[in-house]
A and B are shown apart, each in its own frame.
Chain A
């Protein structure tokens, strides 16, 4: 056991975890983190996920979807002026905003489900904060070099060369941030038109302010704040602890195999010591600057780059991979005791999360497929509740609204049911076609309707609109009110 530490096979990195100090002051300055580039499966996967998510973000508003009439042809569009949300074949009016609730339930429950199975994969791979930070760090690495070079540059006095690199880095960051903010506004207006408007200075002030705010936040959060967003600003690290259990797969250091750790010496006996050679490559690649060997931590976003770093080292020293790996707490204990690992995917919590997701999806599908394209509401006047007419009959006033959710003009007949001898009078309509109401494409028509009936006819009243072309009907119930007798 008296060999020399061999640095030629594995580089030992001089690095300490940012959260290592036993008592951290609340006033401590942020310790700079210079993540080293990792090579391996998970790094490749993260590049692929980054490419895919960025592509979705930038391309989505440019997809076209042919809609009849004056309706916009943009596949995904949040149309604030006309208060409509378009998503491919789905079209949502403000009254149907509960569909969004369904989407949010599905999103939240899917997040819980994935979290209970695989831990924080959302944080590690797909969260925009992770994706953009990864992109910003990649730019930094391209301009300033990998970890060692960046540390040297950071410690060096300001020279023209250092200034140049810094200017280039921040310039590229700002370009990316502007592209991010710029792409965001395309979701809210016709993208090709807006692009021309933005470039020629014709777009609305709101558009420019949105772009500016998102440029600032992207630059700030992705370039400067980085892991501090996850550690200090994001509530999810605090919540997710309740989503995982002893069977959840998380990025784990297999301490039973790694300890006692000691530097690598050539020709040593692996049986007498742990497999961790304390090279600290896992800390060097960590974007949060922590040491996975300290166990599960709030700061760890489970990005698995330490797995890549460790696997690379294990390959070099001819030990099996997987000293750091996705594993569960239960399996750690089992493996330490020499028992086989188990992966019980189906557990009470995963089953419940999955069931909620599936049920919500079914409810949403049923609701969407049965979405009515005609809606009617009738609101009784609040003051006065009724009017006595000179012949002793009673008249009630209503505000009746007809929603035509079809992209074509429709013609309806309005009538009432439930009150005998009711006379319907639509304000502004007279003559033979007084009960024929034309509603324009994709619009709402509000009518003031007066219903007169004999004095003894009070109670429930139903308003009915019937499409004269295809006979579809919509009803809404209300009250016909008279004096107390």
Chain B
């Protein structure tokens, strides 16, 4: 069959020799280099299946003679990275803020690690830039509930706020309305007085009556002048920054049924170096003292 080549007259190309109803198929073989490439890839694939993990079983898979595992590679990479960071990490662990600041490399190490950890763990509530949201504190401003030194920030990150951890920062603003401590009218009076404290437009008559109620119920934590108490995490009521909103409605709501929001504790989830990096990063965002 291969001896007598049938050449198509029009194209000058050999045909396959088959004929269907007078139609002949031209024989245009694949280019040689293409075929050899195909064969080479087939041989490669067989070798690859022997050498590398390839065929899945129901509960496992062939391991391959090279014993390659991507999980092991990742674990190795993580270990290598940890090794590379180990020296700076231990240096950071023992350093004070001033020491960190005076060493640009160490400072950059802390900031870079803090930025990364912040984006993964903190940005969900506090915002990607730390700008916060109603109910979630803004970490860039100069108004801090529990103090803004690196140590205070670190303590907050470590144990959280009302997180249930034994060491957590805890305070409990009473629900003056919900628990029936004050009547609705009284709450409106106190709210008006708080507005006065922070320099807002307010109803002077209500505020005057609220002053007495404030002295009776609020000064233990918020102090007589309303400037708050960082020891207790009591907010400063005289400035322009409000965690749950500073308008009359929000203030009234916060007195009647305070939210007492929770920040989780991170001590069991993050290592001490990461927590220190986070504290230094947050401190450097702009609000740190």
Contact = CB atoms under 8 A, between A and B. Distances in A.
Interface of A: 23, 27, 381-384, 387-392, 395, 397, 427-428, 448, 450
Contacts of B138: 384, 387-388
Interface of B: 12, 28-29, 31, 101, 107, 127-132, 138, 140-143, 236, 239-241, 284-286
Contacts of A397: 129, 140, 285-286
B270 to A, nearest CB: 23
Given A23-B12, A397-B286, A428-B101, A389 B141 contact: yes
A390 B286 contact: no
Given A27-B31, A428-B101, A450-B286, A388 B241 contact: yes
Contacts of B101: 428
A384 B140 contact: yes
15 contacts: A382-B129, A384-B127, A384-B129, A387-B138, A387-B141, A388-B241, A389-B241, A390-B236, A390-B241, A391-B240, A395-B141, A427-B286, A428-B101, A428-B107, A428-B284
A428 B283 CA distance: 11
A391 B239 contact: yes
Nearest to B130: A384
A389 B239 CA distance: 8
Contact of A390 (B29, B131, B143): B143
Nearest to A455: B240
A389 B129 contact: no
B284 A390 contact: no
Contacts of A450: 286
A159 to B, nearest CB: 28
Task: Return the 3 tightest CB-CB contacts between A and B, nearest first.
Answer: A384-B131, A390-B239, A383-B129
Contacts of B127: 383-384
A479 to B, nearest CB: 16
Contacts of A387: 131, 138, 140-141, 286
A388 B141 contact: yes
A392 B240 contact: yes
B240 A390 contact: yes
A391 B198 CA distance: 10
B129 A390 contact: no
Nearest to A448: B284
Given A27-B31, A383-B128, A390 B142 contact: yes
Nearest to A428: B101
Given A23-B12, A382-B129, A427 B284 contact: yes
Contacts of B28: 27
Contacts of A392: 240
A450 B140 CA distance: 10
Contacts of A381: 129
Contacts of B240: 388-392
Which of B107, B138, B241, B284 neighbours the largest number of chain A CB atoms within 10 Å of its CB? B241
A427 B288 CA distance: 10
Contacts of A384: 127, 129-132, 138, 140
A391 B241 CA distance: 9
A388 B138 CA distance: 9
B37 to A, nearest CB: 16
A27 B14 CA distance: 13
B153 to A, nearest CB: 15
Contacts of B284: 427-428, 448
A138 B147 CA distance: 82
B141 to A, nearest CB: 5
A410 B129 CA distance: 32
- Most chain A CB within 10 A, of B31, B127, B128, B240, is at B240
Q: Which of A387, A388, A448, A450 has the most CB of B within 10 A?
A: A387
A383 to B, nearest CB: 4
Nearest to B133: A384
A392 B246 CA distance: 13
Contacts of B286: 387, 395, 397, 427, 450
A388 B31 CA distance: 72
A477 B236 CA distance: 36
A427 B104 CA distance: 12
Contacts of B285: 397
B142 A389 contact: yes
A392 B238 CA distance: 11
A387 B288 CA distance: 14
Nearest to A392: B240
Contacts of A427: 284, 286
A422 B284 CA distance: 20
A101 B239 CA distance: 55
